[in-house]
C-alpha cells in the first residue's frame, strides 16, 4: 500500500494545504494528524468573538468528520506526534509508527509563558486556538475585569474586542508603545488613543510580577508597584514557532523550521508551512503567507515542483476603535518615515532614497488608501 502524505496540524495551514492538494490530486492517501479536536475554524476570528457574540462552537466552521469527507482524508484528532524518523520516512505517535510518503509540518507556534509569582497562575489564559478560547469564554462568564498582558497585534485586538464585549480592560506590557515591532510611533499613538477612547487603560513599561487571589477576584502586582484588581488575565505576550521535534529529528531550525522556497526542510521528503515555518529566512505569522505557501506546496506535492513567491503582505489589524493596516518595510530595507494627517487618521509612509514606497501604516480613515498604496509596495520575496 502507498504510504500517505501526512500533514501534522489542522489549523489554517494544514487544512488549506489539504484543500489545495485535493484540487490537484484526488487519489493519493492523505492523513491529517492533530493534537486538538480537529474542528475547522478561522483563527483571526478568535479576537472578534466578543464583539460578534460568538463562542467557540459559533466560530467552528466544520467538525473533523466533515473535513475528512470533504478532503477524502483520514483526520486523527487529539493525537500528538512525538517524534520523526526521517531516515525511515516514518513518524511516531507514542509507540505507534506511521509511515509517510511526504510529511508536512503545519504544527504552528506555541504561546510564550511568562513566569509569574503568586497563587493564581491558573487564572492566566493564553488564547491561541479554539480550545483555549472555549476555556477563556467559560471562565469569563459573569466576570467584569480583564487584564491583558502584551501590547502586540493580538493583545491590542483582544483589548478592543473585550471592551466591545462589555469588559473593563487594562493592558500591561514592558514596551514604550503598542505594536513596537510593527508600527511607527505616530501610528502606535493613534491606535492607543483609539483604544483609550473605548476605556482601555494602558500600563506601558512594567511587567506583571505577581498574581494572587483576593476575595472573589485577583490582585495583579506590576513591577513598578502598581496594583490592579481584576478577574481574569489574558496572556498575549508572544508566539514561538514549534521547532523542538524538528530539531530532535535533525532538521535545520532557526526561529522556525527552516525551509527553502519550495517549503522543503533540510530533509527531502519533509516540508513545513504556516506559523512554524521559516521560509527563506522569513517567519511570518499571518494568514496571507500561509495561503500562498499552501498553493505552491500543493503543486510540489502533486509532482510539479513550485517555488513560493511573496508579494506585499499588508496586515489588517482588527482594532475598529482605530482601524489599522500596516505593511512594514521588507527586512533589512531602511527608509525615511513621513507622517501625514492628524488625530486618529494618519498616513505614515516609508520611502527609500529614490522615493520608492517601502512600507506604510494607515490608521483611521486613511486605511481607505491601502489599495492604491499596495500597488506601489515592493514584494517581500520576489
Residues that bind ligand FAD (CB under 6 A): 8-14, 33-36, 43-44, 46-47, 80-81, 106-108, 128-129, 154, 157, 242, 274-275, 285-288, 290, 315, 318
Q: Which residues contact 96 (CB under 8 A, 6 or more apart)?
A: none
Question: Would you say 100 or 107 has its CB closer to ligand FAD?
Answer: 107
Q: Which residues contact 55 (CB under 8 A, 6 or more apart)?
A: 49, 134, 137
Q: Determine the Cα–Cα distance for residues 334 and 358; give it in Å rounded to an integer.
A: 8
Backbone angles phi, psi at 140, to 5 degrees: -85, -10
- 3-class secondary structure for 79-129? CCCCEEEHHHCEEEECCEEEECCEEEECCCEEECCCCCECCCHHHEEECCC
Cell numbers found for residue 202: 494602558
Question: Would you say 221 or 292 has its CB closer to ligand FAD?
Answer: 292
User: What minimum distance in Å lies between the beta carbon of 18 and ligand FAD?
Assistant: 11
User: What minimum distance in Å lies between the beta carbon of 313 and ligand FAD?
Assistant: 8
Alpha-helical runs (H) found in the chain? 12-24, 56-59, 64-71, 130-140, 153-164, 185-198, 244-248, 287-301, 370-374
Question: Would you say 108 or 150 has its CB closer to ligand FAD?
Answer: 108
Question: Would you say 273 or 373 has its CB closer to ligand FAD?
Answer: 273
For 296-323, give the DSSP string. Answer: HHHHHHTT------B----EEE--TTS-
Contact (CB, 8 A) for 238 and 275: no
The 8-class DSSP code of residue 142 comes to: T
User: What minimum distance in Å lies between the beta carbon of 288 and ligand FAD?
Assistant: 6
Instruction: Give 347's strand partners.
Output: 340, 362
User: What minimum distance in Å lies between the beta carbon of 252 and ligand FAD?
Assistant: 19
Q: Determine the Cα–Cα distance for residues 127 and 55; give it in Å rounded to an integer.
A: 13
CB atoms closer than 10 angstroms to residue 65: 11
User: What minimum distance in Å lies between the beta carbon of 314 and ligand FAD?
Assistant: 10
User: What minimum distance in Å lies between the beta carbon of 204 and ligand FAD?
Assistant: 20
Question: Would you say 269 or 316 has its CB closer to ligand FAD?
Answer: 316
Q: Which residues contact 24 (CB under 8 A, 6 or more apart)?
A: 298, 299, 301, 302, 304
User: What minimum distance in Å lies between the beta carbon of 42 and ligand FAD?
Assistant: 8
Question: Would you say 80 or 213 has its CB closer to ligand FAD?
Answer: 80
User: What minimum distance in Å lies between the beta carbon of 350 and ligand FAD?
Assistant: 21
Question: Would you say 36 or 170 has its CB closer to ligand FAD?
Answer: 36
Question: Would you say 222 or 272 has its CB closer to ligand FAD?
Answer: 272
Amino acid at each position: 500500500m502507498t504510504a500517505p502524505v501526512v500533514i501534522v496540524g489542522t489549523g489554517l495551514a494544514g487544512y488549506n494545504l489539504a484543500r489545495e492538494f485535493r484540487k490537484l490530486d484526488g487519489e493519493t492517501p492523505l492523513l491529517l494528524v492533530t493534537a486538538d479536536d480537529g474542528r475547522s475554524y478561522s483563527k483571526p476570528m478568535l479576537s472578534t468573538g466578543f464583539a460578534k457574540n460568538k463562542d467557540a462552537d459559533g466560530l467552528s466552521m466544520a467538525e473533523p468528520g466533515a473535513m475528512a469527507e470533504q478532503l477524502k482524508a483520514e483526520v486523527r484528532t487529539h493525537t500528538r506526534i512525538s517524534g520523526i524518523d526521517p531516515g525511515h520516512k516514518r513518524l511516531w505517535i507514542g509507540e505507534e509508527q506511521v509511515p509517510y510518503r511526504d510529511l508536512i509540518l503545519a504544527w504552528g507556534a506555541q504561546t510564550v509563558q511568562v513566569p509569574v509569582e503568586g497563587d493564581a497562575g491558573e487564572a492566566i489564559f493564553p488564547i491561541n486556538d479554539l480550545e483555549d478560547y472555549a476555556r477563556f469564554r467559560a471562565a469569563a462568564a459573569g466576570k467584569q475585569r480583564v487584564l491583558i498582558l502584551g501590547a502586540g497585534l493580538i493583545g491590542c485586538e483582544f483589548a478592543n474586542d473585550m471592551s466591545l464585549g462589555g469588559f473593563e480592560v487594562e493592558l500591561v506590557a514592558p514596551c514604550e508603545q503598542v505594536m513596537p515591532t510593527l508600527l511607527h510611533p505616530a501610528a502606535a499613538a493613534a491606535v492607543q488613543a483609539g483604544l483609550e477612547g473605548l476605556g482601555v487603560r494602558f500600563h506601558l513599561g512594567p511587567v506583571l510580577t505577581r498574581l494572587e487571589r483576593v476575595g472573589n477576584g485577583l490582585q495583579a502586582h506590576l513591577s513598578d508597584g502598581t496594583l490592579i484588581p481584576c478577574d481574569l488575565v489574558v496572556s498575549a505576550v508572544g508566539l514561538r514557532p514549534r521547532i523542538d521535534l524538528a530539531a530532535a529529528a535533525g532538521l535545520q531550525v532557526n526561529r522556525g523550521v527552516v525551509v527553502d522556497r519550495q517549503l522543503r526542510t533540510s530533509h527531502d521528503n519533509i516540508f513545513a508551512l504556516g506559523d512554524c515555518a521559516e521560509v527563506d529566512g522569513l517567519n511570518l505569522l499571518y494568514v496571507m503567507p500561509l495561503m500562498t505557501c499552501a498553493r505552491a506546496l500543493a503543486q510540489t506535492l502533486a509532482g510539479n515542483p513550485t517555488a513560493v513567491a511573496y508579494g506585499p503582505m499588508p496586515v489588517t489589524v482588527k482594532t475598529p476603535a482605530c482601524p489599522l493596516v500596516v505593511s512594514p518595510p521588507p527586512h533589512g530595507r531602511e527608509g525615511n518615515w513621513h507622517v501625514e494627517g492628524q488625530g486618529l487618521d494618519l498616513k505614515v509612509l516609508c520611502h527609500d532614497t529614490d522615493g520608492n514606497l517601502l512600507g506604510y501604516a494607515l490608521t483611521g480613515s486613511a486605511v481607505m488608501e491601502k489599495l492604491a498604496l499596495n500597488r506601489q509596495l515592493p514584494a517581500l520575496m520576489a
